[in-house]
Structures are given as C-alpha cells and as structure tokens.
Amino acid sequence: MKQVFALVIAGILAIPSFGQIRDKAQGHDDSFRSPSSVILKQKLDSVTSEMWVNSGNYWAKSSVTQYYYDGYGNLNQQINEHWDLQSAQWIKDNKVNYTFLYPHKPALIERYYWNLQTSSWKSSFKSVFTYDTAGDLLKLETFEPAANPCEWVSVSSIEYSYDAWNFLISETHFIWDTQGNSWDLDRKLEYCYDESALLSIQTEYIWNLSTAQWEFYYKQEFSYDNNANLTADHQSYWDKPSNAWLPVMKTENEYNNNCQVVCKTEYDWDSFSNAWHAVNKTESSYEPSGTLINECMFYWDAELHLWLIQDKNLFVYSNGFSFDDLLLPYSLPFAASYFNFMLNDIVFCGYQNSNFLPAIKETFYYSTIALSGIDNLDDLNFNIYPNPALDYVIFSWKSVKPEYFIELYDLSARKVMDAKVARDNPLYLGGLSDGLYIYKLMDGKAIVKTGKIVKQ
C-alpha cells in the first residue's frame, strides 16, 4: 500500500493528456536541488503574435504573452494581452500566477481576468491538488468564485489511481451537485500498458444515473515501433445497439532515423464503405542538425484522389543556443520538439494560387538570466531527529550556512509555522496538534528540501 500524504494545492491544470500520463520525473526526489554555482540560461520572456495585412504588406500587432520568473527559474506569472487598434495600446486579457512546491509540479496556480469596467483583476477559477510521496497526482479539485467575496464554490474533481509500479491506471471525474450538495460521478478513464510499459489502451466510461453503472463510451488503442515511437492511434466509440466498439478515426506516424516524425496522417472511418478514408496529412522537414524547418499540411481530395496543399508552418532558429541553454515556462503551449535550438519565429502560411502567403507570425523573445545555486543538503549529511517527535525536532547539516527558514504545513495545506531554524538547534513543536506535517526548508524563495515531520 502506498504511503500517502496530502499536499493540497490550489491551481489550474489541464487534465493529463496521453503525452503527460507517463511524463513523470525519473528518480523523483522531494528536494529541490541546484548546484552551488550560478547558471546562465536564455529565458523566454514573451511571445508576440502578429497578423499579416495584405493590403498594406506589413505585420500588424495582435497579441502578446509575457512570462516572469524568480531567481531560481520558476515561472511566477503569465500575462496575456491583445492589441487594440482604436487606442493603439495593449489591453490586458488574463493572467495566471504560479507557485511551485516541486519542480514542474505547481503548488499554487490562480487564474484571473481583466475587468475593463473596474480596471482590476478578478478571480476566474482555481483548483486544489493532492500528491502522494512519489509525486503522483492523487486528486484535482476545481473551484470558481462564489457570490460572496473570498469564497469559492466546487465545480469538478478528478481522482487518480496508480498500480504498484506507479503507473496511472485510472482517473475518475466528479461534478459538484449544488442542489444535492454532493459529488456526482461523471466519467472515468482507465489505462492499460504493454510489456514495454507503454500506454496501449485508454478507455473512457460515462456514468449512467438511471442504472447507477459505468457504461463504455470511447476508446483509444496505441501502437509503437521498436524505438517506442508512437506509430498509430486508433479511436472508437461504443455502439449500444450493436453492443460493440465501432471505429471513428485513426492517426499514423512515420519517423526518420532520428526518431522524428516526418509524416502524420489522419483517417476517418466510413461506415458505408467499411473502410478508412484519408483526411489530413502533415509532412515535416528537418536540417541535418535535427532542427525542424517546416511543417506542410495537406488535405485529401476524394474526387481527385490527390493530396492537396492546405498550409505550411515555417520555423526560424538561433543555433547558437540548444535546448539545454533555454529556460522555458511551465505553461508554454508549444511542443518541446520545436525547441531543439532557440526558436525565434514561427510563420503560419496559407496556400493560394500555387503560392504560400503569410498569415500569422509568432515571435519569441529571450534574455539572459543568472540562476542562483543553493546548497544540496543531501550531499551535506542532512538529518532531522527525533522524528516522530514529542516537543521538538533538530535539523542537522554540514555547511557553512548556519540557518535556513522553515515553513510547516498541515495536511489541509494550512501554514502552521514560519520561522528560522538554526543548525543543530531545537525547533519547538509544543503548540501543534499531534499528526503529520510537511516542512519546506527555504533559502530565500528557493526550496532547499521538503519532507515530513510526525508530531505525537
């Protein structure tokens, strides 16, 4: 049985997609550790979007997303704005504030929208997360603002389950019933893996209120090559009259010798001819260095029986900086494969009269950031004792730094202590109730180490 402690986290996070299901940190450690030296990175500051104006033959401002970080590379805030032609200025749309307990695991994410009438930010929604000791997400609960200020109303909840090897095997979705003041079952997803630990089947169920049973709804089946590259994604829906799974669509991928997708083809199932019919295709081209040059999209003309060009995406890079040199925000809505090197521009082009015409351009702006290093307490013989504790605990480490700050949380994520802790000196717990607590040892705003304290 997995040992579980709750880290209740407020935030906004999308339901894990297929690509996120097994995107877990290998060898996860509860400590945030950085080398004790300064690291220079090229941080992504903003992404601007421009629209091509054919009549004037120029790029017109459209929108911008700005990213802000702390000195340790954690994303603090994201602000989205759009360009107003009448006033010729940027107008705020929405923002998201971030706080992290663990790397890549947001502790607090709150979304706001800009109220033009009051010229102020208004809360939009938030979610609450619970993790286990392995860093796996156990629960996600979403809220929206209530009529009364500073109050929140439950909206939805997702509970996640894992097998003995920490593979996600199911997620159950609930919807809050305001009239019944209770959680109602909504839908459920189950995941199966092959002998190579790759996701092979994802099955979705919906809850039937009349029968109080789960019913089949949708299914995806995945295939891979010998390099674990996804080669096919077959999707089907459950047909009640025939009591069988019926195909809907499928996607097939082809790869080059560097395991990069060179062709992605989408098909729809034609129930009249009982055959797959091609719909869309994307062909990707790369430089010898592996940098993506362009993506060309096609659609299938059933009458001509030909692939016809639809549009194209062009990519511009600065090859002087590789992926490891970049600091990219947690919420970046672009594929990581686009950033083998520093991505400067993406130009989206339409196709008309046998020519590619520019339509939209995304431009990426960077600047150098010096990331501060902190002590690695695991390498400095860090110890905490006695644990379980009665009235006090002692933090011990070998370092020239004599003290850190400590934040102590109960299992409802309520901060119960905020104090300095000196090396080899007692930290008194007499005022706390018996139970399990989570501590964060801090060096400024950087999390040096996290762990558990049991008060008894």
Could you tell me the two tokens for 324?
């490891």
Which pLDDT score, from 0 to 100, does residue 197 have? 81
Q: Is the dihedral of CA 99, 103, 107, 108 positive or negative?
A: positive
380 pLDDT band, cuts 50/70/90, is low
Domain assignment present for residue 214? The answer is no
Q: Which residue matches tokens 């929604």? A: 125
Rounded Cα gap, residues 34 and 447, in angstroms: 10
Domain assignment present for residue 186? The answer is yes
Q: CB–CB of 385/452 below 8 Å?
A: no
Domain assignment present for residue 125? The answer is yes
Domain assignment present for residue 86? The answer is no
The residue among 190, 224, 249 that closes a domain is: 190
Which pLDDT score, from 0 to 100, does residue 28 have? 32
Which pLDDT score, from 0 to 100, does residue 24 have? 31
**For every residue of the chain, which 3-state class applies, written as one string?**
CCCCCCCCEEECCCCCCHHHHCCCCCCCCCCCCCCCCCEEEEEEEEEEEEEEECCCCEEEEEEEEEEEECCCCCEEEEEEEEEECCCCEEEEEEEEEEEEEECCEEEEEEEEEEECCCCEEEEEEEEEEEECCCCCEEEEEEEEECCCCCCEEEEEEEEEEECCCCCEEEEEEEEEECCCCEEEEEEEEEEEECCCCCEEEEEEEEEECCCCEEEEEEEEEEEECCCCCEEEEEEEEEECCCCEEEEEEEEEEEECCCCCEEEEEEEEEECCCCEEEEEEEEEEEECCCCCEEEEEEEEEECCCCEEEEEEEEEEEEEEEEEHHHEECCCCCCCCHHHHCEEEEEEEEEEEECCEEEEEEEEEEEEEEEEECCCCCHHHHCCEEECCCECCEEEEECCCCCCEEEEEEECCCCCEEEEEEEECCCEEECCCCCCEEEEEEEEECCEEEEEEEEEEC
Strand order in the sheet with 426-428: 383-385, 392-396, 426-428
Give the mean pLDDT of 293-300.
Answer: 97
CATH assignment at residue 176: 2.40.128.720
Residues in contact with 391: Cβ distance below 8 Å, sequence separation at least 6, in sequence order = 428, 429, 430
Residue 453: closest CA among 394, 397, 387: 387
Could you tell me the two tokens for 215?
């019913």
pLDDT at 239 over 60: yes
pLDDT at 86 over 50: yes
Measured at the CA of 341, the angle between CA 336 and CA 342, to 5 degrees, comes to: 95
The total number of residues written for the chain in this structure: 456
Give the mean pLDDT of 226-237.
Answer: 94
Which pLDDT score, from 0 to 100, does residue 182 have? 94
Query: 4-8, 178-182, 184-188, 398-402: which has the minimum mean pLDDT?
Result: 4-8
Q: Tell me which of 70 and 155 has the higher pLDDT.
A: 155
Q: pLDDT tens for residues 298-349?
A: 999 999 999 999 999 999 998 788 888 899 998 887 777 788 889 999 999 9
Which pLDDT score, from 0 to 100, does residue 103 have? 61
Which pLDDT score, from 0 to 100, does residue 400 have? 59
Which pLDDT score, from 0 to 100, does residue 148 have? 85
Q: CB–CB of 302/51 below 8 Å?
A: no
Q: CB–CB of 362/378 below 8 Å?
A: no
> What is the rounded average pLDDT for all residues in the chain?
85
The residue among 169, 190, 211 that closes a domain is: 190
Rounded Cα gap, residues 159 and 178, in angstroms: 20
Q: pLDDT tens for residues 2-60?
A: 333 333 333 333 333 333 333 332 233 333 333 344 678 899 999 999 999 999 899 99
pLDDT at 376 over 60: no
Q: Tell me which of 128 and 262 has the higher pLDDT.
A: 262
- Put simply, whether the predicted model's pTM sits higher than 0.75 gets the answer no
Rounded Cα gap, residues 307 and 288, in angstroms: 27
Q: What CA dihedral angle connects 270, 273, 276 and 279, to 10 degrees?
A: -60
Domain assignment present for residue 130? The answer is yes
Domain total for the chain?
2
Q: Tell me which of 101 and 239 has the higher pLDDT.
A: 239
Provide the residue range defining the domain that includes 422: 377-455
Which pLDDT score, from 0 to 100, does residue 32 have? 34
Domain assignment present for residue 372? The answer is no
Which pLDDT score, from 0 to 100, does residue 59 have? 97
Which pLDDT score, from 0 to 100, does residue 98 have? 87
Which pLDDT score, from 0 to 100, does residue 316 have? 95
Query: 3-17, 203-217, 223-237: which has the minimum mean pLDDT?
Result: 3-17
446 pLDDT band, cuts 50/70/90, is low
Q: Tell me which of 418 and 314 has the higher pLDDT.
A: 314
Domain assignment present for residue 344? The answer is no
Q: CB–CB of 133/14 below 8 Å?
A: no
Half-sphere exposure of 11 (CA within 13 A, CB side): 25
Which pLDDT score, from 0 to 100, does residue 241 have? 96
The residue among 190, 208, 240 that closes a domain is: 190
Domain assignment present for residue 120? The answer is yes
Q: CB–CB of 121/111 below 8 Å?
A: no
CATH assignment at residue 399: 2.60.40.3080
Rounded Cα gap, residues 159 and 140, in angstroms: 7
- Cα 279 to the center of its chain, rounded Å: 29
Rounded Cα gap, residues 81 and 366, in angstroms: 18
pLDDT at 189 over 90: yes
Contacts by 108-117, CB closer than 8 A, 24 or more apart:
108/9, 108/10, 108/11, 109/10, 109/11, 109/12, 109/13, 110/10, 110/11, 110/12, 111/12, 116/91
